[in-house]
Structure 1
């Protein structure tokens, strides 16, 4: 999806100044207050309403918005019912074996859901996101969550940065995190597979991460203890060294590249 296919809009006049500021920052047109159901010129909006910033498909039969959400929804439910200690992502980064929660660099942050699980388990998580659109969504979600008494202490352990992860990692010397976590966009899928709504929106915006092998290679040089790559369960491994081990769930798989034992 190119810039000409995306615009910024809002639900109420009071959000127009903020919508225009977002549009200026991202170099997108702003169509001010509008009802997404009746927008024909843009297939997707960055949409601002009283719930925050979201991606909203336009048209009468469009699905609901996609936003970074840490207070309610799945993230809120998980937080209220014991966190995510039993989730595979927690096992993959080595939380069960480490004497203390590791510092995790999430180099493909997306909407930050896995990072939020890890932050809820005590990890300090640095998030890198190279798509300006996805970064804007994630930044908005973190700001909203910071004001919540329950989610606030968790997102305080999440540090969002903008930029290309490969360039960032190459610009550093030595190891920069205990664990580096990668969840690259998979370029192909089985037509019969169910695809999450956010993935349907994200793919044309961010494309496929064809440079995943390059990112894995530099991550292996910058992680102190391990690199974890999240993949669709039946997807091939990222080109490069073979993983040390794998953890497989119903729909996802975690390829673990162990460099040395976690302290």
Structure 2
């Protein structure tokens, strides 16, 4: 699938304390309407706003009763809590990447970065992480979050290990030489058909802006060619695996799981 264009149901707007100049620039970049200063609950012509408020950029669904804003947040919230309580060493994603089996500094390509939460955990544990996000709206959201985190003294060293790139990770992986990444991490949007599954406000906004990833099979194939040690795929716990080779093993959590596709053994130490 080609890079997803901005949703036709999206516009850019500001709160009274938002940066109007940045909002205008983003609207021009995305080629979507700029509404000026608005109250999201009073907007009826667009389902989602890329809204600049006093904290930066967020995605806000419109209309009465809409859930609160979604932003890429690393300083506070869940990411901040993890950073202050062990940095994510107990997270299943760290185990899936293989950080308990190696002391080497791994280069991880997060091919479907989204809000960058898993990438931030891995960077906090010493990985160099290259993040790809092909949707320009989500890319802008992530860039804003990383820029804000870079201003925080505790987050800045972590963000310094994160490199955000825009565009298709599949194209980059397909063109990359073998071993271009130590580990490739995939978390493609799973096509939920049951609306009751859309319980998180992040998911509601993402589906309105991004839709589903229907090229996961091609992305997995490209990842397997580029990864030096392994490919890791995050899936809903009960979802089918991506079409293609079977994973060698799975690590299951309460709501999600990690399918592991080893290429060769991880190195024991830095070398």
Q: Is 1:98 equivalent to 2:102 in the alignment?
A: yes
Residue of structure 2 in register with 1:171 after alignment: 175
**Quick one: which of 39, 45, 58 aligns to 1:35?**
39
Residue of structure 2 in register with 1:222 after alignment: 226
Residue of structure 1 in register with 2:92 after alignment: 88
Residue of structure 2 in register with 1:120 after alignment: 124
Q: Is 1:135 equivalent to 2:106 in the alignment?
A: no
- CA shift digits 1:110-162 (9 cap, x unpaired): 00000000011011000001100100000000000000011111111110000
Q: Per the alignment, do residues 59 and 194 of structure 1 end up closer, same or farther by CA in structure 2, a change over 3 Å counting?
A: closer
Q: Per the alignment, do residues 207 and 3 of structure 1 end up closer, same or farther by CA in structure 2, a change over 3 Å counting?
A: closer
Residue of structure 2 in register with 1:200 after alignment: 204
Partners of 1:190 and 1:37 lie apart in 2 by: 26
- CA shift digits 1:59-89 (9 cap, x unpaired): 1211110000000000001101111111100
**Quick one: which of 13, 20, 29 aligns to 1:9?**
13
CA contact (8 A) 1:125 1:157 kept: yes
Partners of 1:212 and 1:171 lie apart in 2 by: 17
What TM-score do the two structures reach when normalised by structure 2?
Answer: 0.93
- CA shift digits 1:175-217 (9 cap, x unpaired): 2110000000001255554632111111232121111011001
Deviation at residue 22 of structure 1 after TM alignment: 0.7
Residue of structure 2 in register with 1:257 after alignment: 261
Residue of structure 2 in register with 1:22 after alignment: 26
Deviation at residue 12 of structure 1 after TM alignment: 2.2
Deviation at residue 2 of structure 1 after TM alignment: 6.1
> 1 or 2 for the larger relative contact order (CA 8 Å, sep ≥6)?
2
- SS of 2:183 mapped into structure 1: strand
**Quick one: which of 143, 146, 153 aligns to 1:149?**
153
Paired positions, count: 263
Q: Per the alignment, do residues 194 and 60 of structure 1 end up closer, same or farther by CA in structure 2, a change over 3 Å counting?
A: closer
What TM-score do the two structures reach when normalised by structure 1?
Answer: 0.96
Structure 1: segments with no counterpart, 5+ residues: none
Deviation at residue 3 of structure 1 after TM alignment: 3.5
Partners of 1:158 and 1:176 lie apart in 2 by: 16
CA contact (8 A) 2:112 2:187 kept: yes
Residue of structure 2 in register with 1:188 after alignment: 192
Q: Per the alignment, do residues 157 and 88 of structure 1 end up closer, same or farther by CA in structure 2, a change over 3 Å counting?
A: same
- SS of 2:59 mapped into structure 1: strand
Partners of 1:220 and 1:236 lie apart in 2 by: 19
